[in-house]
Amino acid sequence: MSIPDLQTCMLPLLDLASDRQEHAFREAIEELVDGFKLTEDERKARVSSGELTINNRIRWAYFLLKRAGLLEATRRGHFRITQRGLEVLRSRPAKLTIAFLKQFPEFQEYQKLAASKAVATRRMRKARPQSPVEELEAAYRRLRHGLAIELIEAVKRCSPTFFERLVVDLLVKMGYGGTREDAGHAIGRTNDGGIDGIINEDRLGLDVIYLQAKRWNGVVGRPEIQRFAGALQGHRASKGVFITTSSFSKEARDYVSHIGSRIILIDGEQLAELLIDYNIGVLPVATYEIKRIDQNYFAES
């Protein structure tokens, strides 16, 4: 058979998880590939990024099934079927498709986010034709958006200790705290009046930043930020960073814009973007180098 498309990969992947056990994603790929009975050339076929084509399609099938709530990640590189996934299998659909997944609210929400970006892209195209470089950039933004969603979900599943270490790694990569060891000693040691940690603003320690890091699912409101601001005043501190895996209410953001202390709010979306920018918890898959002709080289004197 030819290499199955990502929609064709969905039902076999869900079937594989029907035993309700936890499965390693890498092993699941191997089992599915064997079941598809691909030729040697089909097994070796790769997409432009260098990833095996069949692996790429199974990975995207998994991503969409997870967005629809049929599969769930259990820990790094592992997944299992959900109750909804079992109910879908009991209905025995002939094939799972993107159209089928649209019935689930979580998938609808995911599509709304993706659609909003697509609308902006189409508007740009209507305004003026896109060059190949612009089209490449648009594709990159879509891939980055999907990665950000997966990344923040992984952060929410990690333990408080791991989240603390992740914050340390990020701040050190951004140039704060001196060494990782110094930052590690500073963060997580206070737990005093709404302060989770203290980190140097620069390597010399000329000023410090107070931290609050919360793995929340709900919206962080003004009361939480007020408590943090009060804790800063108690320490005679003027700078603070409040990091959450969720989001901040409008009232919380308005509050920090009208107080004397300088408090930076980093929500889950911004946290994911920073992790991607500073290569924390992500790995590069492919690099595309755009080149243009060097006119100086061909200029004959």
Q: Is residue 290 in some structural domain?
A: no
The reported pLDDT for the residue numbered 259 is 84
pTM of the model: 0.61
| CATH number for 57 | 1.10.10
pLDDT tens-digit series, residues 260-271: 778 999 999 999
pLDDT tens-digit series, residues 12-48: 999 999 999 999 999 999 999 999 988 888 988 887 6
Q: Is residue 271 in some structural domain?
A: yes
Residue 156: CA count within 13 A, CB half-sphere: 19
The reported pLDDT for the residue numbered 280 is 92
Number of domains in the chain: 2
Most confident of 125-134, 154-163, 169-178, 224-233: 224-233
Of the candidates 19, 4, 9, the one whose C-alpha atom is nearest the C-alpha of residue 86 is 19
Of the candidates 250, 251, 243, 249, the one whose C-alpha atom is nearest the C-alpha of residue 267 is 243
CA distance 92 to 22: 22
Which distant-in-sequence residues (6+ apart) come within 8 Å of 129 by Cβ? none
H helix intervals, the chain: 6-16, 25-36, 40-44, 53-67, 83-90, 98-101, 105-127, 132-157, 160-173, 180-186, 222-234, 250-256, 268-277
Whether 19 and 94 map to the same domain: the answer is yes
pLDDT tens-digit series, residues 200-232: 776 666 677 888 888 877 888 999 999 888 888
Whether 23 and 107 map to the same domain: the answer is yes
The reported pLDDT for the residue numbered 205 is 64
The reported pLDDT for the residue numbered 261 is 76
pLDDT tens-digit series, residues 95-148: 899 999 999 998 888 888 776 655 555 555 555 556 676 677 778 888 888 889
Q: Is residue 152 in some structural domain?
A: no
Whether 97 and 182 map to the same domain: the answer is no
pLDDT tens-digit series, residues 284-298: 877 777 787 777 777
CA distance 67 to 113: 12
Whether 103 and 176 map to the same domain: the answer is no
**Percentage of the chain modeled with pLDDT above 70:** 83
Q: Is residue 164 in some structural domain?
A: yes
Whether 102 and 175 map to the same domain: the answer is no
Q: Is residue 153 in some structural domain?
A: no
Last residue of some domain: 113, 144, 177?
113
Task: Kindly tell me if the per-residue pLDDT of 186 is higher than 60.
Answer: no
Whether 165 and 87 map to the same domain: the answer is no
Whether 171 and 105 map to the same domain: the answer is no
Residue 99's alpha-carbon distances to 96, 143, 146, 290, in angstroms, are: 8, 21, 19, 36
Q: Is residue 95 in some structural domain?
A: yes
The reported pLDDT for the residue numbered 113 is 77
Q: In sequence order, what DSSP letters do the residues of 87-116 get, joined into one string?
A: HHHHT--S---HHHHTTSHHHHHHHHHHHH
Per-residue pLDDT band for 80 (boundaries 50, 70, 90) equals: very high
Q: Is residue 42 in some structural domain?
A: yes
| CATH number for 178 | 3.40.1350.10
Q: Is residue 266 in some structural domain?
A: yes
- Average pLDDT over the chain reads 83
Last residue of some domain: 113, 147, 178?
113
Whether 104 and 174 map to the same domain: the answer is no
Q: Which domain holds residue 77?
A: 6-113
Last residue of some domain: 86, 113, 140?
113
